[in-house]
Chain A
Amino acid sequence: MNQIPALIRVFSYLSILTVGGGMAAFPEMKILTVDVHHWLSFAQLIHLYSVGQMAPGPNMMMIVSIGQWAGGTLGAIAVLIAFFGPTAILAFVVAKAWRKLEKWPWRSSIQQGLAPVSIGLLLAGGLSLAKGAIAGVETGVLAVAVLLILLRYKVNPALLVLASAGVALLIPPK
């Protein structure tokens, strides 16, 4: 069955949910790609997202993999355009208007009000990722260790993700 129309529908919807960052769309991405359309499993979604943290550029590039699985090369391209197109157009159009509103007092209210909501959306996305990614003491310790190291030292996060892969290999399988 041709999945391209569904891919475009799902990812253009997810696109407008990415308030404050890609992770805001994660809970709904899980529902739509895993539970509704069965393009991949939850574990696979977590793996792709996490591996994507080591890739350069915008950090939601794992959507390309989902597109490729569900619809081949055309699916990958469709997903890219669907996911980045709507917000790009919005940024293009709104930026000009937004600059003109510099003196409007509600402008800073909107920015101040959206700040906690977008942090909340990021945290909500992170917690639903954690539901699948933290499966015991070892992974829990690893996540906390990464958090503490980043809070204490200036390390490139991508390197830390890579190092965690190495550490996980040392944990004996059960």
Chain B
Amino acid sequence: MNEANVVPALQTATGPTGAQAEVSILQIFLELLIIGATSFGGAVPYLRRSRVTKLHWVNDKEFVEMLSISQSLPGLNATNMAVLVGEKLRGMMGAIAGIIGICLPGGLLMFVVGIYYRQHGDHAFVTAALKGVSAAAVGLILFTVVSLSKKSLSHNFDLFFIAMTVIAVNQLHLGVPRTLIAVGILAILFHHPRKTQKTGATL
């Protein structure tokens, strides 16, 4: 609907106030490159506060919608968001520019870090520091589990589906695909559409 090529037409229709200037592929790339280089500790909040929303490339409603799509699909939220934002602005080239932009800085950094770690990772000093880093990573994941549970669960019974998923992957070693199909279908059926439409249960 919102293809970039209809934007000029929209501009004349809505006048200067609601107008959205066409965003170039380079602008998309640079904006997401900056986010990719500065978003320490999770890219989505940075994306939300970035010029992507400030310049109204994507409005608030679209952003929430894109985020919920990103979360339902496989793929990292950050890269899915980059694809969706890029796609909305400039189609396929925009999506490619977006994902390359957001991945490039962190990818280059980890390329260098990987080489350095391979050479010096067994030094006592580095090993000691890494122990702390790894423990913190576990704490970080547990925090994400807690905050996501508060935000996105719509029923107490969902805790049971969480437990089933953990048991299927870690105890029964069913693997993600089979777990996803088995528990996922059960959970979706549990949340089947009801006649009394409870809107706004999520988000």
DSSP majority for the A interface? helix
Q: Name the distance in Å between B165's Cβ and chain A's nearest Cβ.
A: 3
B129: which of A59, A108, A165 is its contact (CB, 8 Å)? A165
Q: Name the distance in Å between B35's Cβ and chain A's nearest Cβ.
A: 8
In the assembled complex, B31 has its CB within 8 A of some CB on chain A: no
Instruction: Given A59-B78, A91-B84, A124-B170, check contact A117 B72 (CB 8 Å).
Output: no
B69 touching A91, Cβ below 8 Å = yes
Instruction: Given A59-B78, A169-B129, check contact A91 B83 (CB 8 Å).
Output: yes
A28 touching B176, Cβ below 8 Å = yes
Q: Name the distance in Å between A160's Cβ and chain B's nearest Cβ.
A: 6
Report A-chain residues with C-beta under 8 Å of the C-beta of B131. Answer: 135, 138-139, 168, 171
Interface residue ranges of A8-24 to B (CB < 8 Å): 15-24
In the assembled complex, A7 has its CB within 8 A of some CB on chain B: no
In the assembled complex, A132 has its CB within 8 A of some CB on chain B: yes
A92 touching B134, Cβ below 8 Å = no
Select from chain A the residue with minimum beta-carbon distance to B181. Answer: A117
A51 touching B133, Cβ below 8 Å = yes
Report B-chain residues with C-beta under 8 Å of the C-beta of A128. Answer: 170
A50 touching B79, Cβ below 8 Å = no
B75: which of A73, A87, A159 is its contact (CB, 8 Å)? A87
Q: Name the distance in Å between B191's Cβ and chain A's nearest Cβ.
A: 4
A88: which of B40, B41, B99, B193 is its contact (CB, 8 Å)? B99
A156 to B116, CA, bound (A): 25
Select from chain A the residue with minimum beta-carbon distance to B34. Answer: A56
Select from chain B the residue with minimum beta-carbon distance to A94. Answer: B73
A168 touching B74, Cβ below 8 Å = no
A50 touching B183, Cβ below 8 Å = no
Q: Name the distance in Å between A172's Cβ and chain B's nearest Cβ.
A: 9
A140: which of B71, B135, B189 is its contact (CB, 8 Å)? B135
A24 to B74, CA, bound (A): 9
Instruction: Given A22-B76, A127-B170, check contact A51 B95 (CB 8 Å).
Output: no
A48 touching B114, Cβ below 8 Å = yes
Instruction: Given A57-B37, A69-B118, A87-B79, check contact A120 B161 (CB 8 Å).
Output: yes
In the assembled complex, B9 has its CB within 8 A of some CB on chain A: no
Report A-chain residues with C-beta under 8 Å of the C-beta of B124. Answer: 173
A161 to B143, CA, bound (A): 13
A-B residue pairs in contact (CB < 8 Å), sample of 14 = A15-B74, A51-B133, A56-B43, A61-B109, A64-B110, A108-B201, A114-B184, A114-B188, A115-B158, A121-B180, A123-B142, A124-B166, A143-B142, A150-B140
Given A68-B115, A108-B191, 8 more contacts at CB 8 Å? Answer: A58-B78, A88-B95, A114-B72, A122-B145, A123-B145, A156-B41, A157-B143, A165-B136
Interface residues of B (CB under 8 A from A): 35-43, 65-66, 68-80, 83-84, 87, 92, 95, 99, 102-107, 109-111, 113-115, 117-118, 121, 124-125, 128-146, 148-149, 152-155, 158-159, 161-166, 169-170, 175-177, 179-180, 183-193, 197, 201-202
Closest 10 CB pairs of A and B: A120-B165, A168-B132, A65-B114, A146-B139, A87-B75, A57-B106, A113-B188, A105-B193, A126-B141, A164-B136
